[in-house]
Amino acid sequence: MAIRVKVVPASESISSDTAATTVLNDVVTLQQSSNVALDIDPDQVAGYVKDGQDLVVQLKTGENVRIVNFYAEGQSPSHLFLVDDKKLVAVDLPAVASDGPLAASYLPQETLAGFDSLTAVGAGAGSGISGAMVLGGLAAVGAAVALADSGGGGGGGG
């Protein structure tokens, strides 16, 4: 399953402008304490499990998303966000927990998640191409069309 994800250092906020990547192997690896947004609706989640330093998001489909180093020792806690109605939803998880199932609550945010821009380009999102690359390519095509249209104007009429 391909999941779109946004990851920023814990000291930064996720916004609609934050670049998204597509995770194809259901594993997100954190290098530091982070804010992590998964393009998953809270209604799709069956539960959360702490497994060592990792957080496993269990989906109702039976699939799992593993966030490696979510509970890394010696670092401030990471934070998880999901998406409901195009807005971020903070997942309130215990900052310190033993291995096993975790109780979670949801706190709706007013911040737009911004994942919908990749949905609009369809094939680009599924292939791992970044939104900036797709948009850059579309801009180049648009410029080429505009140049072609501007050069041939005087013929028509009668």
- What's the pTM value of the predicted model, to 2 decimals? 0.73
Residue 148, pLDDT > 90, answer no
Distance CA 96, CA 94 (A): 5
pLDDT of residue 2: 87
Look at 46-60, 65-79, 135-149 and tell me which has the smallest mean pLDDT: 135-149
pLDDT of residue 142: 38
Q: What does the pLDDT average to over 28-55?
A: 97
Q: What does the pLDDT average to over 11-37?
A: 93
130 CB burial (10 A radius; 0-12, 13-18, 19+)? middle
**Per the structure block, which two tokens stand in for 28?**
């997100």
- For residues 23 and 152, the model is more confident at 23
pLDDT of residue 158: 52
Task: Give the start-to-end residue ranges of the domains of the chain.
Answer: 3-114, 121-151
pLDDT of residue 116: 65
Tell whether the torsion through CA atoms of 136, 6, 63 and 25 is positive or negative.
Answer: positive
Residue 139, pLDDT > 70, answer no
